[in-house]
Amino acid sequence: MSDQAATATLHVALGERSYDIHIGPNLIADPQAYAGAIRGRRVLIVTNDTVAEHYRAPVEQALTAEHDVDTLILPDGEAYKTLATLDTVAEHLLAGGYGRDATIVALGGGVIGDVAGFAAAVYQRGIDFVQVPTTLLAQVDSSVGGKTGVNHPLGKNMIGAFYQPKRVLADIDVLVTLPEREFAAGMAEVIKYGLIRDAVFFDWLEANMAGINAREPELITEIVRRSVANKAEVVIADEREAGERALLNLGHTFGHALEAELGYGAWLHGEAVAAGMCMAADTSQRLGWLDSAQVERINAVIAAAGLPTAPPPQTSAARIFELMRRDKKVSAGALPLILLADIGHAVRHTDFGDALDQTLHHYLAA
């Protein structure tokens, strides 16, 4: 893969919290890729057992020449994105005598990035961390923007902090080992950017999905670069989700409720978001904003990426609505949803009339 794709660098300009995102081949094994992002001697790599099998050794080798490196291997899966896992990381740091000049390297997908980043945010009131995302979803979304946290049985990502990394290394070579289901889950977030703010990108995805599914290197580099560019622009404008950044949640309020109801890990995050985006498109059509042809295009692109376009039909509409009402974005009793005024134009909306209820009962059991 690496001989056909160039490296790109994007800068997230957030004042003293600014950092670079490097996108390209052969990054995780290159000591220079980490240079300047790690200020102290001690480094703790936090990863999981699946990722460690493939990438622990090259990352350790890249860092050992300049740093004292230790590795903590956690179990793999969304079911372990918990306070108990956070405590495991904190205990390892404490028992190892790590100081405030230590750096955590988060080597893995979204769960590792969120848990390790949250540990960095709270350990001794904040130590540095570097994101080395190994899934498409993490590369295009969760590693960028500083959202860290863990799940609770009553809600996804309800306990966490905004905490920016010192650098993100999105190595496209690691996507070679990514299972098809995990790759498809990442495509949900890629498609999201086209739907919320980049209609030209959506058109490009529609035309290139076969090559993307075949993981053609130049196409993979482009989807990561274009997605990260969109995410970075939003984060720079609205770091703490006071306005525009909320648009990144298209499909997520539906999706988070589905994840909580089905049990974390039963569906991958991207799968739940994909179904949630289809439900958001349906609600948008019921409000008169999208026409049936646009909804069909959205469903077709999501299906072509190998993603579900609907939740399990036996899921309870009442239960999903109850979980949506517990979402962390609910304010003063109002449930905001990100919907589509057009492909490439998302809006935040709280006055659904009967449209939301009709959508829930269209997809779900009474």
Catalytic: which of 22, 42, 81, 147? Answer: 147
Residues 10-52: pLDDT tens digits?
999 999 999 999 999 999 999 999 999 999 999 999 999 999 9
Is 42 assigned a catalytic role?
Answer: no
In the residue annotation, 241 being an active-site residue is answered as yes
Q: Is 328 a catalytic residue?
A: no
Residue 87 vs residues 91, 204, 263: alpha-carbon distances, Å: 6, 43, 22
CATH of domain 2-176: 3.40.50.1970
245 in catalytic set: yes
Examine the residue annotation and report whether 259 is marked as an active-site residue of this protein. no
Candidate list 22, 166, 192, 269, residue with the active-site label: 269
Q: Which of 252, 259, 286, 349 is catalytic?
A: 252
In tens digits, the chain (366 residues) has pLDDT values of: 444 457 889 999 999 999 999 999 999 999 999 999 999 999 999 999 999 999 999 999 999 999 999 999 999 999 999 999 999 999 999 999 999 999 999 999 999 999 999 999 999 999 999 999 999 999 999 999 999 999 998 888 999 999 999 999 999 999 988 999 999 999 999 999 999 999 999 999 999 999 999 999 899 999 999 999 999 999 999 898 878 899 999 999 999 999 989 988 899 999 999 999 999 999 999 999 999 999 999 999 999 999 999 999 889 999 999 999 988 778 767 899 999 999 999 999 999 989 999 999 999 987
Q: Which of 48, 157, 249, 299 is catalytic?
A: 249
Residue 67 appears among annotated catalytic residues? no
> Which of 22, 166, 226, 245 is labelled catalytic?
245
Domain range annotation of the chain: 2-176, 180-363
- List pLDDT tens digits, range 284-336: 999 999 999 999 999 999 999 999 999 998 899 999 999 999 887 787 678 99
Q: CA-to-CA distance for 304 and 293, rounded, in angstroms?
A: 16
Is residue 223 a contact partner of residue 134, using CB atoms and an 8 Å limit? Answer: no
Q: Which one of the listed residues 78, 189, 261, 271 is annotated catalytic?
A: 189
* Residue in 22, 67, 231, 286 annotated catalytic: 231
Q: Which residues of 86-108 are buried (b: 16+ CB within 10 A; e: fewer)?
A: bebbeebbeeeebeeebbbbbbb
* Contact yes or no for 51/155 (Cβ under 8 A): no
Active site residue 269: yes
CB of 276 closer than 8 Å to CB of 191: no
Catalytic annotation present for 125: yes
Quickly name the fold that domain 180-363 has.
Dehydroquinate synthase-like, alpha domain (1.20.1090)
Active-site residue flag, 256: yes
User: Which one of the listed residues 241, 259, 261, 271 is annotated catalytic?
Assistant: 241
In 199-348, which ranges are continuous DSSP H helix?
199-213, 217-237, 252-262, 269-286, 292-304, 317-325
Helix (H, G, I), strand (E, B) or coil at 277: helix
Task: Indicate if 147 belongs to the active site.
Answer: yes
Terminal C-alpha separation, the chain? 48
Tell me the torsion sign for CA atoms 220, 221, 225, 228. Answer: positive
